[in-house]
Amino acid sequence: MQNFFWRWFYRLPSPFTAADLRAGYAYDLAVRQFEVADTRVFDRPQSGRAFFEGLIRDHLDIGRPQQVVLLFKRERLPRKVGSFSTKVLTKGVDPQVSCSYKSSRIKQYLKEGRALRNETVICNTRDFGIGRRVTTDNWRALRAVGDSANQRLCDAQAQDAAPAPDVVTLGQVTRPTKTSDGLHAPALCFGDPRVMALLAALVGFSHVLVGFQNRQLVSLVATLLDQPYGHRQATYDLRRLRRKGLIFRVPSSQRYQLTPVGSAVAVLSECFLRVCGSENSSRIARMIVDSRFGAPVSRWLD
């Protein structure tokens, strides 16, 4: 890219005089927008659209994309009256899933009816602690951010179809335990409103770019819990999640990411509420953590 720029630079008019150039004034390249795309082609294209529409439907509560867009392939004329709406997704309507972080975003859609397209668009490199200048190091760092975000989004969506955690793992999460360092890890009891709201807040697609912070967790959990939830409670819950191995702290930052086990447990909690309903969740949760129901629960999870 730099070779291309400088080759044309000497052929185009420049406002710099010879004195300006001798004084050290010159152009430099900077990143205005950086896009990393990932395309995954389906073996059976006819199933691609059904898969993507099912993905949107299943993840309205698991993942909670910030925006789901329907694009209609027709032009709205000034003389046209009435509203544009649809009840069934048909040919000519392209659904999209969009998640954003500051000035950057991830967009996912079905490309030409046969491929799942993920696009991470970075509009401000400083959102990720990367410089604007076009250098080899900055280019590789931006590419790594985009590739990682695209992969984590697909992993988060695929987690819904992954096997549920085994009974031993579930028991370690729902009962008090000790870490390898001997630290106490309080229980995360299924059916407890605060725990269920906490786990539901962790599976948001908006976390896949750079993770989440304490203040973001406070906002999400308070909305889902519908009662006061402060920073001290979030700090305590983050400590519980870390000691249970459900999240890890991103190095040199105050942000956290879900571990594979944490993602599986969080998705299971959402499926648990979806199937059982909030009115029965507490009663059934007590059955899950009761050792007397170990064998039936094992068969149920399988």
- Look at residue 144 and tell me if it is in a domain: yes
Final residue in a domain of this structure, among 138, 161, 184: 161
In a domain, 21, yes or no: no
Q: What are the pLDDT digits (tens) for 192-231?
A: 888 888 888 887 766 777 788 898 889 888 887 878 899 9
Total number of domains constituting the chain: 2
Does residue 255 lie in a domain region? yes
Q: What token pair was written down for 173?
A: 């999460």
In a domain, 192, yes or no: yes
- Domain extent, residue 274, equals 167-291
CATH code of residue 187: 1.10.10
Other CB atoms within a 10 A radius of the CB of residue 34 amount to: 21
Residue where one domain finishes, among candidates 123, 145, 161:
161
Q: What is the pLDDT of residue 285?
A: 45
Q: Specify whether 111 is located in the same domain as 194.
A: no
298 inside domain: no
Same structural domain, 99 and 192: no
Residues 177 and 122 in one domain: no
Contact yes or no for 131/125 (Cβ under 8 A)? yes
Verify that 134 and 173 share a domain, yes or no. no
28 burial via Cβ count (<10 Å: 0-12, 13-18, 19+)? exposed
264 located within any domain: yes
Question: Is there a contact between 272 and 287 (Cβ–Cβ < 8 Å)?
Answer: no
Please check whether residues 283 and 179 belong to one and the same domain: yes
End-to-end CA distance of the chain: 53
Domain identity same for 47 and 123: yes
Q: Are residues 44 and 113 in the same domain?
A: yes
Residue ranges for the chain with pLDDT beneath 70: 1, 57-94, 159-164, 205-206, 270-302
Of 142, 161, 180, which residue sits at a domain end?
A: 161
Residue 162: per-residue pLDDT? 62
What letter would DSSP give residue 208?
A: T
Q: Report which of 216, 225, 219 is spatially closest to residue 196, judged by C-alpha positions.
A: 225
pLDDT at 137: 92
All residues at 6 or more sequence positions from 293 whose CB lies less than 8 Å from its CB, including other chains: 287
Same structural domain for residues 153 and 102?
A: yes
Predicted TM-score of the model (pTM): 0.59
> Do 171 and 191 lie in a common domain?
yes
In a domain, 28, yes or no: no
